[in-house]
Amino acid sequence: MYIHQSYCIAAQQNVLDDDINTLKDAVDKKLFATEPAYEGIPPGAIRRMGKAIRMGVGAALPLCKETTALNGIIIGSANGGMEDCIKFLNQIVQYEEGLLAPGNFVQSTSNAIAGQLGLITANKGYNITHVHLGLAFENALLDAMMQLNENPDKGYLLGGVDEISSFNYNIEDLAGTYKKESVSLKQLYETDSPGCVAGEGATMFVVNKNEVNAIAKVEAVYTLHSKDAEEVSNKLKEFLSNHLDELKKIDLFLSGENGDNRTLKFYTACEALLDSHTAIARFKHLCGEYPTAAAFGLWLSCQLLQTQEIPTHMLKNKPVKRPFRKILMYNNFKGNQHSFILVSIV
């Protein structure tokens, strides 16, 4: 499957800037996305949109304007418009189950992003949202690949969207997901403590089976559920043997390491399989941790393949510099959901 266009709304506006001091830091342990002006969304519609829908539609419309041949919309979102959902539930209590404004309910369903995009762009094709927590985007990615295998002449809009909602943040914070102490993103990977920094974002791609003018190729995707680092390492070894020729190597290992010392063992086990010439880079200090952060990682992979430059603050090691032709991204969500995505330059 080939990626032709991409668009990302994330916390950092200068993701590939080599100076870490220019990066936006977290506020109250939350790394909020920097939203654009949303010029393509009608004012009447944007007033009713929650943040997740706003970001999803705002990231997709620039691609939809440039590409008319989209036969479907495939979105991954673990929580959808959770903030609007809580507003609606609060209304039920406030108005004692009387007459409720339906806006918050309509905007809070998980498929609201894909639905709004279908309505705004008049796209009547395949329209689906995958809601699988930390594998929501990966399942959307697999769906897009299967759709293209059956319909090789078609093209799809693929995306991953999640927001920081106060309700979800509080629940996850009580569960110990986030760090108890405030941590600067500059020292995120040096903190030896449990928890991560909350993030959010929206990333969209135009994908099809046409190699011409593509910016990257998604060669393979694999997901698994496991709490055993050795099993994850063995699955990665099997994944690489199935999808890499003996003469081809991984040039860059893009790690979803997020500063949580409870999940570090998984990344260490996977990195042990790499040769000494493979560059290892991390990206969660750029976007924070959220269920569909793998979508940001895939977008970043496309950027790195195009520019062939990696900011020094992303690098975990200092390998011999060579062209990046193949990137392996490994993402881990809560030490239970794992994904491997192999991306290459066209």
Q: What is the pLDDT of residues 176-201, one digit of tens each?
A: 999 999 999 999 999 999 999 999 99
Q: Do domains 2-208 and 219-344 have the same CATH topology?
A: yes
| Single-letter amino acid, residue 85 | C
Higher pLDDT, residue 104 or 156: 156
Other residues' Cβ atoms within 10 Å of the Cβ of residue 161: 36
CATH architecture of 219-344: 3-Layer(aba) Sandwich (3.40)
Q: Write the pLDDT tens digit of every residue in 234-243.
A: 999 999 999 9
Higher pLDDT, residue 218 or 93: 218
- The pLDDT value given to residue 103: 65
Residues 6+ apart with CB under 8 A from 3: 205, 206, 207, 214, 215, 216, 217, 218, 298, 302
Taking the C-alpha atoms of residue 337 and residue 291, their distance in angstroms, rounded to an integer, is 10
Does residue 105 surpass a pLDDT of 90?
no
* SS3 per residue for 286-316: HHCECCCHHHHHHHHHHHHHHHCCCCHHHEC
What is the three-class DSSP state of 218? Answer: strand
- Closest CA relative to residue 81, chosen from 39, 54, 52: 52
pLDDT over 70 percentage in the chain: 95
- The pLDDT value given to residue 205: 98
Q: Write the pLDDT tens digit of every residue in 75-99.
A: 999 886 566 677 777 777 877 777 7
Q: How large is the average pLDDT for residues 202-211?
A: 97
Does residue 202 surpass a pLDDT of 90?
yes
* SS3 per residue for 31-84: ECCCCCCCCCCCHHHHCCCCHHHHHHHHHHHHHHHHCCCCCEEEEECCCCCHHH
> Contact, 237 vs 224, CB < 8 A?
no
Q: How large is the average pLDDT for residues 148-165?
A: 95
Residue 133, phi-psi category: left (phi > 0), alpha (psi -120 to 50), beta (remainder): left
Taking the C-alpha atoms of residue 178 and residue 175, their distance in angstroms, rounded to an integer, is 8
What is the three-class DSSP state of 113? Answer: helix
- The pLDDT value given to residue 298: 98
For residue 272, the Cα-to-chain-centroid distance in whole angstroms is: 25
- The pLDDT value given to residue 104: 63
Does residue 302 surpass a pLDDT of 80?
yes
Does residue 227 surpass a pLDDT of 90?
yes
Q: Write the pLDDT tens digit of every residue in 34-66.
A: 999 998 888 888 888 888 999 999 999 999 988
Domain boundaries, the chain: 2-208, 219-344
- Closest CA relative to residue 254, chosen from 283, 230, 232, 277: 283
Taking the C-alpha atoms of residue 82 and residue 248, their distance in angstroms, rounded to an integer, is 43
DSSP for 172-212, please give it. HHHTT-B-SS---GGGGGG--BS-B-EE-EEEEEEEES--T
pLDDT over 90 percentage in the chain: 74
- The pLDDT value given to residue 68: 72
- The pLDDT value given to residue 236: 97
Average pLDDT of the residues of the chain:
91
Residues 6+ apart with CB under 8 A from 312: 18
Does residue 318 surpass a pLDDT of 90?
no
Taking the C-alpha atoms of residue 304 and residue 311, their distance in angstroms, rounded to an integer, is 10
- Closest CA relative to residue 106, chosen from 45, 58, 38, 62: 45
Fold type of domain 2-208:
Peroxisomal Thiolase; Chain A, domain 1 (3.40.47)
Residues 6+ apart with CB under 8 A from 341: 138, 141, 218, 220, 221, 294, 297, 298, 301, 328, 329, 331
